[in-house]
């Protein structure tokens, strides 16, 4: 035997670890186990801090169950550090595999917004049970749900990843009347009620934006274990061509609503149908909404407001082309980029008379790029109703959402059908059909249900559910 | 990986390194294999600096925390190291990987392999065996996990009940052992 020269063995650490005899194991099969028993040396102490590396490889549900194993496991797994490790590990694994982010499309429509349609992706675990009736009953864990039972105004007004922002009101016919916002995670059923606000008779729009911590900027890994958020209530300008916008902002850091005035270089018009139906869009922590002409018919441009980094002013983005009053237009987000979906209402003389749609994307330096142009006449479907609608004399479809993972796929509403459209292959596929109070509505009907963009929520499911932390103490 | 026995003129890349385990067994391994263990690599490089490496294969690196049975398995794992530990592209591939992970024996064996891989700072191995151990306890009941790790639950029954209610969504669909 050769002894090592200059080094002594203790440079490798002096703790001597021994095995535990596991009575369930046959010593004949595992001859190396035939050694003395040491009751103090449990598997857990042998693993030491490596235990966290094993547990963060479990599916999320399993890891959460393991919290109830013991008090020490509880503190290990409930620590935000664990969540960070867990998310980082998933992120490293999934980089090659970006089309697997689970998501759920949630539509809220018709009759004081009480119909709900939930379309989860195959790998989504966010099971929202609407109890067949397609209502808001899945929110019955919220204390404000009693207002929904009394038929007071109650609806989802915004979402961020897997969180929902719900607004409920005690209308002014009752005293005291107020308006209440509630943030919740429908999967974990955690919720938080924000301080009450007086009921507003004005046309307000609301945006909900979270600022997640970046755990590794290079790898673009963000973690939802800690985050700050703002709920931004934008009051409609009272006059045309207004350059001062009045807002109320709730910040998670202060736990309060605060009024603020934001200046705009461009004059803004009061919110009417076009802006109100489209609502507020959130993209990369920035809020966007539509500015229309004074009649509220024609889109003039987009207002951009960054509540975290530039809360003094808002900016204006011109559309890629001058839009005409009969043009249909809506906006959405694809992987951090603002996108526009446009159906021109006028045909040019050289046209075949068919409706087309265009998808524009706002690139990093503020230029619009035409990504897709699809003629509804060229779309393919094995569903006869869809063929009829696509070739009809009215604009056939409206944008619901851009697919979060695949650039060329878009969710459209055609008649009362919810359709997936591949803008490259031009294939249309029925995903679902709108219902009213549980009853399926006819696909083609002379009047179909309008699903407003403000009531379309694309929930994406992070690998660990976003917690809903309590408000700071005052 | 080159196999030195087929190589009549061993070059520096196929030099051998001797590792000595806690039970005083000597393992002669190819340098390429030994260098996967960062702890060994570090030791080896330090030795080189001290000009002891001139003695070549006569260098014996002591591993007082690793038993021979465990080291033998780590070396054999090293030799057929999978190409990548990234999540498989499709379900089928993931199943194959799962089966591969299952071959590494009982949970008790895995714990030994993990603590040895951790001590040797063998990153690919640690990743693989950690996942293999996680496979054993995923979707298992809390009781199973407790028994498995030899942990006694120290929550009061009402605390545990309250906890299960609060996280009810996570407790749906568990294999009872």
> What does the domain layout of chain B look like in residue ranges?
9-78+91-137, 142-171
Please tell me which residue, A222 or B63, carries the higher pLDDT value: B63
Lowest mean pLDDT among A154-158, A173-177, A336-340, A466-470: A173-177
Give the residue from B124, B134, B162, B166 with the most A CB atoms within 10 Å of its CB, the best one to mutate. B134
If pLDDT is split at 50, 70 and 90, which confidence band does A171 have?
confident
Distance CA B30, CA B19 (A): 11
* Residue B177 touches partner A, C-beta closer than 8 Å: no
Model confidence at A329: pLDDT above 70: yes
Average predicted confidence (pLDDT) for chain A: 82
Higher pLDDT, B89 or A238: A238
Using an 8 Å Cβ cutoff, are A407 and A334 in contact?
A: yes
Is B60 in contact with A3 (Cβ distance < 8 A)?
yes
| B42 has a pLDDT exceeding 80 | yes
Do residue B111 and residue A187 have CB atoms under 8 angstroms apart? no
Q: How far, in Å, CA of A186 to CA of B75, rounded?
A: 48
Query: Under an 8 A CB cutoff, do A58 and B134 touch?
Result: yes
How many CA atoms lie less than 13 Å away from A246 in the CB half-sphere?
A: 10
pLDDT of residue A83 exceeding 60, the answer is: yes
More confidently predicted of B86 and A155: A155
Q: Bigger pLDDT: A117 or A11?
A: A117
Maximum average pLDDT range among A281-285, A446-450, B46-50, B133-137:
A281-285
Q: Under an 8 A CB cutoff, do A54 and B114 touch?
A: yes
Residues of chain B positioned with their CB less than 8 A from the CB of A74: 155
Q: Determine the distance in angstroms separating the CA of B73 from the nearest CA of chain A, rounded to an integer.
A: 12
Whether B142 has its CB under 8 Å from any CB of chain A: the answer is: yes
Residues B95-102: what's their mean pLDDT?
A: 76
Residue A17 — pLDDT band, cuts 50, 70, 90? Answer: very low
Residue A13 in this model has a pLDDT that exceeds 60:
no
Q: How far is CA A37 from the centre of its chain?
A: 53
**Residue B27 tokens, joined:** 């393992």
Q: Are A162 and A185 in contact (CB under 8 A)?
A: yes
Contacts (Cβ under 8 Å, ≥6 apart) of A105? A118, A119, A120, A400, A401, A411, A418, A456, A457, A458, A459
- Looking at residue A5, its pLDDT comes to 36
Tell me, yes or no, if A16 comes closer than 8 A to chain B by beta carbon.
yes
Contact across the interface for A66 and B154, Cβ inside 8 Å: no
pTM for the structure as a whole? 0.81
User: Which of these, A450, A457, A471, lies nearest to A109 by C-alpha position?
Assistant: A450
What confidence score (pLDDT) does residue A418 get? 93
> Comparing A324 with B170, which gets the higher pLDDT?
B170
- Alpha helices (runs of H) in A206-328, residue ranges in sequence order: 273-278
- Which of B 38-97 lie inside 8 A of A, CB atoms? 39, 43, 46-47, 50, 52, 55, 58-65, 67-70, 86-87, 89
Give residue A35's pLDDT: 38
Q: Is the pLDDT of residue B8 over 60?
A: no
Q: How far is B12 from chain A (nearest CA, A)?
A: 20
Task: Please report the pLDDT score of residue A33 as a whole number.
Answer: 37
ipTM over 0.90: no
| Predicted confidence band of residue A249 (pLDDT cuts 50, 70, 90) | very high
Query: What is the average per-residue pLDDT within B18-30?
Result: 89
Instruction: Kindly report the CATH number that applies to the domain delimited by B9-78+91-137.
Output: 3.30.710.10
**Model confidence at A288: pLDDT above 90:** yes
State the pLDDT at residue A21: 36
| pLDDT bracket for residue A48 (50, 70, 90) | confident
Given this model, what pLDDT does residue A34 score?
Answer: 34
Collect all residues of chain B within an 8 Å Cβ-Cβ radius of residue A58: 134, 137-138
Average pLDDT on A191-203 reads: 88
Within 8 A by CB and 6+ apart from A410, the residues are A341, A359, A399, A400, A401, A402, A403, A420, A421, A423
Residue A230 has phi, psi (to 5 degrees) of -135, 145
Query: How would you label B26-52 residue by residue, b for 16+ Cβ within 10 Å and e otherwise?
Result: ebebbbbbbebbebbbebbeebeeeeb
A37 pLDDT more than 70: no
Cα A37 from Cα B66, distance rounded (Å):
17
What pLDDT was estimated at residue A96? 52
Q: How far apart are CA A96 and CA B89, in angstroms?
A: 8
C-alpha to C-alpha distances, A159 to A156, A164, A183, A185, A243, nearest whole angstrom = 8, 4, 9, 10, 28
With contact defined as beta carbons under 8 Å apart, do A139 and A118 qualify?
A: no
Answer for the pair B143, B57: CB distance below 8 angstroms, yes or no.
no
Per residue in A306-322, pLDDT tens?
999 999 999 999 998 88
**Cβ contacts of B90 on chain A, cutoff 8 Å:** none
Name the band, by pLDDT with cuts 50, 70 and 90, for residue A97: low
Distance from CA of B61 to the nearest CA of A (A): 6
Of A33, A50, A188, the CB nearest to B114: A50
Tell me the nearest-neighbour CA distance from B25 into chain A, angstroms: 9
Out of A2, A57, A61, the one facing B58 most closely (by C-beta) is: A2
pLDDT at A98: 52
Confidence class of residue B12 from pLDDT cuts 50, 70 and 90?
very low
Highest-scoring range by mean pLDDT, A53-57, A105-109, A205-209: A205-209
Q: Read off the pLDDT of residues B45-79 as tens digits, 9 standing for 90 and up.
A: 887 776 654 555 467 888 888 899 899 988 888 88
Of the listed ranges A91-95, A236-240, A461-465, B161-165, the least confidently predicted one is: A91-95
Mean pLDDT of A196-223: 83
Rounded mean pLDDT, B34-38? 86
Closest CA in chain A for residue B153: A70
Q: Specify the higher pLDDT residue, B166 or A45.
A: B166
Percent of chain A at pLDDT > 90 equals 44
What confidence category does residue A366 fall into, taking pLDDT thresholds of 50, 70 and 90? Answer: confident
Domain borders along chain A are 15-94, 101-318+452-474, 320-451
Work out the minimum CA distance from A2 to partner chain B, whole angstroms. 7
Mean pLDDT of A86-101: 72
User: What pLDDT was estimated at residue A9?
Assistant: 33
């Amino acid at each position: 035997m050769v002894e090592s020269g200059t080094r002594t063995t203790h440079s490798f650490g002096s703790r001597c670890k021994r095995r535990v005899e596991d009575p369930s194991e046959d010593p004949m099969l595992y001859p190396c186990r035939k050694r003395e028993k040491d009751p103090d040396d449990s598997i857990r102490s042998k693993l030491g801090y490596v235990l966290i590396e094993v547990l963060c490889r479990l599916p999320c549900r399993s890891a959460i169950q393991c919290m109830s194993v013991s008090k020490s496991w509880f503190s290990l797994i409930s620590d935000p550090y664990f969540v960070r490790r867990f998310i980082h590990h998933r992120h490293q694994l999934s980089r090659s595999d970006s089309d697997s982010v689970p998501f759920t499309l949630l539509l809220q429509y018709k009759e004081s917004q009480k119909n709900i349609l939930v379309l989860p992706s195959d790998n989504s675990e966010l099971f929202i049970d609407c109890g067949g009736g397609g209502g808001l009953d899945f929110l019955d864990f919220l204390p404000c749900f009693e207002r929904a039972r009394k038929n007071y105004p109650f609806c989802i007004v915004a979402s961020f990843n897997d969180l929902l922002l719900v607004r409920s009101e005690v209308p002014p016919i009752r005293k005291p009347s107020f308006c209440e916002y509630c943030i919740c995670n429908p999967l974990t059923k955690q919720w938080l009620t924000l301080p009450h606000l007086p009921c507003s008779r004005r046309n307000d729009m609301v945006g909900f934006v979270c600022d997640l911590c970046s755990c590794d900027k290079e790898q673009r890994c963000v973690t939802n274990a800690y985050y700050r958020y703002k709920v931004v209530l934008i009051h409609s300008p009272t006059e045309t061509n207004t350059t001062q916008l009045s807002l109320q902002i709730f910040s998670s850091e202060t736990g309060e609503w605060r009024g603020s005035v934001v200046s705009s270089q461009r004059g803004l018009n009061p919110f009417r149908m076009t802006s109100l139906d489209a609502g507020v869009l959130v993209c990369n922590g920035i809020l966007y909404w539509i500015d229309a002409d004074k009649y509220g018919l024609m889109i003039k441009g987009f207002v951009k407001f960054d509540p975290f980094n530039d809360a003094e002013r808002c900016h204006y983005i011109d559309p890629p082309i001058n839009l005409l009053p009969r043009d249909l237009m809506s906006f959405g987000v694809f992987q951090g980029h603002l996108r526009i979906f446009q159906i021109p209402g006028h045909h040019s003389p050289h046209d075949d008379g068919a409706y087309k749609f265009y998808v524009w994307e706002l690139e990093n330096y503020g230029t619009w790029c035409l990504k897709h142009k699809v003629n509804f006449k060229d779309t393919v479907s094995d569903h006869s109703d869809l063929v009829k609608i696509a070739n009809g004399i009215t604009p056939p479809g409206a944008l619901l959402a851009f697919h979060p993972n695949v650039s060329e796929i878009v969710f459209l509403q055609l008649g009362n059908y919810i359709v997936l459209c591949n803008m490259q292959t031009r294939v249309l596929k029925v995903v679902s059909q709108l219902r009213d109070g549980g009853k399926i509505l006819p696909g083609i009907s002379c009047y179909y249900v309008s699903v407003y963009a403000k009531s379309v929520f694309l929930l994406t499911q992070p690998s660990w559910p976003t917690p809903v932390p309590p408000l700071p103490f005052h | 990986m080159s196999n030195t026995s087929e190589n009549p003129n061993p070059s520096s890349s196929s030099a051998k390194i001797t590792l000595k385990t806690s039970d005083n067994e000597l393992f002669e391994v190819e340098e390429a294999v030994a260098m996967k263990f960062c702890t060994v690599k570090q030791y080896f490089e330090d030795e080189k600096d001290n000009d002891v490496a001139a003695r070549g294969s006569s260098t014996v690196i002591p591993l007082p925390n690793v038993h021979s049975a465990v080291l033998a398995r780590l070396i054999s794992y090293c030799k057929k190291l999978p190409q990548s530990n990234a999540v498989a592209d499709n379900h089928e591939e993931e199943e194959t990987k799962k089966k591969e992970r299952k071959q590494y024996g009982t949970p008790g064996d895995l714990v030994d392999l993990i603590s040895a891989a951790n001590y040797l700072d063998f990153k690919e191995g640690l990743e693989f065996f950690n996942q293999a151990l996680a496979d054993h306890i995923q979707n298992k009941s809390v009781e199973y996990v407790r028994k498995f790790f030899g942990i006694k639950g120290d929550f009061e029954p009402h605390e545990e009940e309250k906890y299960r209610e609060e996280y009810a969504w996570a407790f749906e669909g568990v294999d009872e052992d």
